[in-house]
Structure 1
């Protein structure tokens, strides 16, 4: 189903599905047992725009730490469980707003039921997660390998198992590191699944490859109206995941707010450190609450014209640069003053 049609599910104080805004998620990479380090990372992620956070719960100590972590953060917390159903139960009892499990690796139906009963008692939704890497041998044999069809069948089997236990507070996550397989799987499951979809490209890679694969995969799915909550999975600082997710949503017109920075590619006419300047501008505007477009141009030849569609921009020359509004040059300043001049204009923005 399209995101407007999926079932609305409450996670802590946030709703996903049913046409609610697409929520940005990330996952901590600290040891959850280390409450101080985990809280510090979550607070940084919150400030960057993270709206739901997931923590690994590999031990009972980690499950118990959730209670103290919850006291110090402001966004819903998801407990990520593998294999031990007792950790899922403990995570719920210690304040998890949602749990992520693969019922297939939790154990027999009695153990799954114990988790579902506890989730039902605490009104905590269950995210059913199936990855291509954990596909059952029987489905691999049935489909002649790991396929989108097999991933979907596996996920629907787990969903039905929970539904048969009289629980429907479910979020579905089916992921693959193969972008086109992942897209196809979501297209297939959206035709038959009423629950919100958590979408992402798993194990997508480092900052460069991960961003490209995630942008392509998420872009296709989101443009088709699929996906109620997203995570850009990157091998690196989780803060980069939030930056990328916000930009993907904004590029697709699915989120507004925040300054958009556009910059030209460098060429032989460039007389300033455009690459450094563009990166400095992007960092500098992160804390300025405006919904405008800022252009960073490398030369005064094409700069004013190319920046015309931006609300404000700067263009570099030889040791100096121009401040431009709506394509009109309003000030010439020294190169070293370009950044501070732009920031001053933005802080006193009147449109």
Structure 2
């Protein structure tokens, strides 16, 4: 079994459930707005949130933010070791650094000692875009072997300081390179791994890369905590991370939505109905999970041929008719409603189960 660390109230590694992370994209110094975004991330099902720390004011804001949220907070540090120490003293539950960018051994040691004192882990973050020049030259470019070598080198710097509460992150925007690097490091260390595809792109293109890259790693048994990185609202990252975990059976308390592809028999606007139901269940899922409720299947079907049978097999469902829909719950017909009421009525059934 892999090693484990504690980040606030979340265990990473050691067989613990794979935790979902995200990162705020508003100014950390703006305590009010960043707190509101963190709360939105929590409601979506985020379990660990990372905040950028560009200066001392941002580091000191941690103490104020901590008073308003329950979720563990990670300080994202680049270059200035003093910011890492300040964030730790102000309540950060974990710090993310690249030891190679921090500077001298004494500076790295100062961060390690602060983390030891507060008993918090350090995430060693290595990115293909900032790989050490000597490693790039040695390998003839950015390679999987180079990413793994850089991560292990930086981890050893901390281990030599008698520090073992480490999470490793090595990311690339190249899905295959990312996969190969994780396969290499998985065999060479027992430290928990934070996985993801960095700079994956917009919601559309980034979701595809993340589904393949993160999903492939998880199916191979690699990964202890994860972040889907998308350009835009970080809440969407959390929703999609949940979708990935759910689709491969790692999260069992979600809502499985099935819908038909539509055909010439469809007499309701099934695409719009399915999309509205999909958005609604994303908000219901974290609430069900928090209550420990079992997984359910929701069917949104478009016609009377396969619709009734599929809907009846699901926990909840609707079979479309001519401008109306027949609602089902646990295999039984509940009622027939007009097309305009299908979404509200179906969501109400799911919410009250």
Q: Same fold, TM exceeding 0.5?
A: yes
Residue 24 of structure 1 deviates from its aligned partner by: 0.4
Q: How does 1:94-243 map to 2 (within 5 A)?
A: 94-243=90-239
Partner of 1:247: 243
SS in 2 for 1:24: strand
Residue 326 of structure 1 deviates from its aligned partner by: 5.8
| Partner Cα separation in structure 1 for residue 65 and residue 334 of structure 2 | 50
| Partner Cα separation in structure 2 for residue 100 and residue 318 of structure 1 | 56
Partner of 2:324: 320
Which residue among 246, 259, 267 is the counterpart of 2:263? 267
Which residue among 274, 296, 303 is the counterpart of 1:299? 303
SS in 1 for 2:125: strand
Residue 300 of structure 1 deviates from its aligned partner by: 1.9
2:246–2:254: 8 Å Cα contact kept in structure 1?
A: no
Unaligned runs of 5+ in 1: none
| Partner Cα separation in structure 1 for residue 152 and residue 339 of structure 2 | 59
Partner of 1:341: 345
Residue 335 of structure 1 deviates from its aligned partner by: 1.4
SS in 2 for 1:72: coil
Which residue among 256, 277, 282 is the counterpart of 2:252? 256
Residue 301 of structure 1 deviates from its aligned partner by: 2.0
| Partner Cα separation in structure 2 for residue 344 and residue 237 of structure 1 | 27
Residue 170 of structure 1 deviates from its aligned partner by: 0.4
Residue 332 of structure 1 deviates from its aligned partner by: 2.7
Task: Spell out, residue by residue over 1:103-130, the C-alpha distance to the aligned partner (whole angstroms, 9 max, x if none).
Answer: 1111121111111111111112100000
2:206–2:230: 8 Å Cα contact kept in structure 1?
A: yes
| Partner Cα separation in structure 2 for residue 348 and residue 119 of structure 1 | 45
Partner of 2:272: 276
Task: Spell out, residue by residue over 1:130-185, the C-alpha distance to the aligned partner (whole angstroms, 9 max, x if none).
Answer: 00111111111111111000000000000001100111110000000001110111
2:296–2:315: 8 Å Cα contact kept in structure 1?
A: yes
Greater mean alpha carbon deviation, residues 111-120 or residues 193-202: 111-120
State the TM-score, normalizing by the size of structure 2: 0.94
SS in 1 for 2:272: helix
Q: How does 1:4-153 map to 2 (within 5 A)?
A: 5-153=1-149
| Partner Cα separation in structure 2 for residue 42 and residue 333 of structure 1 | 38
Task: Spell out, residue by residue over 1:84-106, the C-alpha distance to the aligned partner (whole angstroms, 9 max, x if none).
Answer: 11111111111100000001111
2:131–2:147: 8 Å Cα contact kept in structure 1?
A: yes
| Cα distance change of structure 1 residues 317 and 77 upon mapping to structure 2, 3 Å threshold | same
Residue 33 of structure 1 deviates from its aligned partner by: 0.4
Unaligned runs of 5+ in 2: none
RMSD of the alignment, in Å? 1.5
1:304–1:327: 8 Å Cα contact kept in structure 2?
A: no
